Structure 1
Amino acid sequence: MTRDLLIRGMIAGIVAAFIVTLFARLVAEPQVDLAIAFEASHDQAAHSHAGHAMAMPADPEPELVSRDTQKGIGLLTATALYGAAVGGIFSLVFAVIYGRISTLGPRSLSLLMAIGAFIAIALVPAIKYPATPPAVGQHETVVFRTLTYFAMIALSVVAMVVAIKVGRAFANKAGAFNAMLIAAGAYVAIIIAVQFALPAINEVPADFPAVVLWRFRIASLGVQATLWVVIGIGFGAMADRVLRRQAERR
């Protein structure tokens, strides 16, 4: 059964990747183009000022991958690989939880897991370290910013697991609804502590267009929300069929 669920999880992730690619092309990529244009205009202005002291301006560096390729086949390939990996991991976690930790049906459990994953992996980390388009962020701090972002994701996932265990511990004593509130409170409390503990990063240029930055960040969250919703609904439907067939064979 685990193998069947794994295959369907990867399929759900790939399907989600196609939808995410379309969403990104329509909503996110135009903001990236605007950010690149902003960066190019700054570079051109810097070169024009420096050109007075130079006999001959240096040739621009060749473009390794064209912009059309980046937002076309490159974007689709990257999202397909990511979607397949995420969908596979999602299905394995589902296989562990279903029937052991949760008594929910396949569709409900899958959708609930997708919502939890979006909150823990995308939404909460974005509150501390929101997505940034090109021209935002210094090259010298790329490694540091990457490490802190993934640390925020890891700690958010751990906090979610701890909160679920706390809620389960209080389920029999306080009731399901109160246990859910306790779990949510535990998660929020841990996340507040983590967000205060991790360093703040603000490298947005003062003259960067606020509208472009806002739309890019909303689009980034939209991409993640689309991915998880499609995986949650799509995998839930396929898992329900697999589990029904298995039950019929018994």
Structure 2
Amino acid sequence: MSLRADGVPTYSAVLLRGLLAGLIAGLLAGVFGYVAGEPRVDAAIAIEEQAAHVAGEDTGSGHQDDELVSRSGQKGGLFLATALFGAAMGGLLATAYTLLRRRLRTPSDARAALGLAGAALLGAVLVPFVKYPPNPPAVGDPATIDQRTAGYLAIVVLGLVAVWAGVVGYRAPRGAAPEWLRALTGVLGFLAVVAVGYVMLPAVDEVPSTFPASLLWNFRLASLGTQLVLWVSLGLGFAALLSRLGARTPDRAAVAG
């Protein structure tokens, strides 16, 4: 059954819809990433190979490591990766919805789902993007990968904490506080946590001076666009599926009677 005795959807019903919405969103994000991002990756790989070839000639060695996975295999695997990632994010979104639904001050299930997806997009994608934007091949020192990974995970956590601080700030004014005051305290709470995180975490700038700035910028925009497609599609799909589930939910008073 998809409904409990009181007419409330069960967690399994919500989770199934989250996984389905995430799978579809992941495939859409994969299509966008393939069209907008893969040409930039190819261009960056060409630059990397050219630099390695020049270094090999300078050192008198023409040896190049064989690829473990071909580029065609990597491009095909992009869809599998984004589909699995989307399904995982859909499962997390469904779980967050189940746990937090009663705390969200809106009677609309669709609006609650969109709000949670938007919060995840803001905290887990946009905040980290500004501090640690993604880099294409040929950019970044392999020796600092552990440091960069730890910093990125830390800023993701801080981004989500910042969203929570913004919600707390919005609800802080008591009584019939004007909407502008609630919005102001919410924004200040969010920005305060973000600012502290940006200052505390180390800056990383390992872009070679010879790397084309336009290629770097276009790659980062394509990466951000892929995440935007994923989370917007996930939010809309999950909200639509929840609305269909709610439309089949009987009136609670009738169930109780």
Counterpart check, 1:97 vs 2:106: no
Query: Structure 2-normalised TM-score?
Result: 0.90
After superposition, where does 1:15-94 map in structure 2 within 5 Å? 15-51=24-60, 57=61, 59-72=63-76, 74-94=77-97
Shift of 1:154: 0.4
* Other-structure match for 1:54: none
Letter of the 1:227 counterpart: L
Instruction: Please say which of residues 186-195 and 213-222 is displaced more in the overlay.
Output: 186-195
1:171 and 1:122 map into 2 onto residues whose CA distance is 31
Task: Confirm or deny: 8 A CA contact 1:16 1:226 kept in the other structure.
Answer: yes
Task: Confirm or deny: 8 A CA contact 1:98 1:104 kept in the other structure.
Answer: no
Query: Structure 1 residues 244 and 97 mapped into 2: Cα distance closer, same or farther (>3 Å)?
Result: farther
Task: Identify the match of residue 122 of structure 1 among 122, 125, 129.
Answer: 125
**5+ residue gaps in structure 2?**
1-9
**5+ residue gaps in structure 1?**
52-56
2:107 and 2:251 map into 1 onto residues whose CA distance is 19
Instruction: Please say which of residues 103-112 and 22-31 is displaced more in the overlay.
Output: 103-112
Counterpart check, 1:8 vs 2:11: no
* Other-structure match for 2:200: 197
Deviations 1:180-227 (A, max 9, x none): 221112101221121011101100001001011000111111011101
Aligned length: 244
* Other-structure match for 1:242: 245
* Other-structure match for 1:166: 169
Query: Structure 1-normalised TM-score?
Result: 0.93
Letter of the 2:19 counterpart: M
Deviations 1:28-58 (A, max 9, x none): 111111110010010001111111xxxxx35
* Other-structure match for 1:154: 157
RMSD of the TM alignment (CA)?
1.5
1:172 and 1:146 map into 2 onto residues whose CA distance is 44
Question: Equivalent pairs: percent with the same residue?
Answer: 38
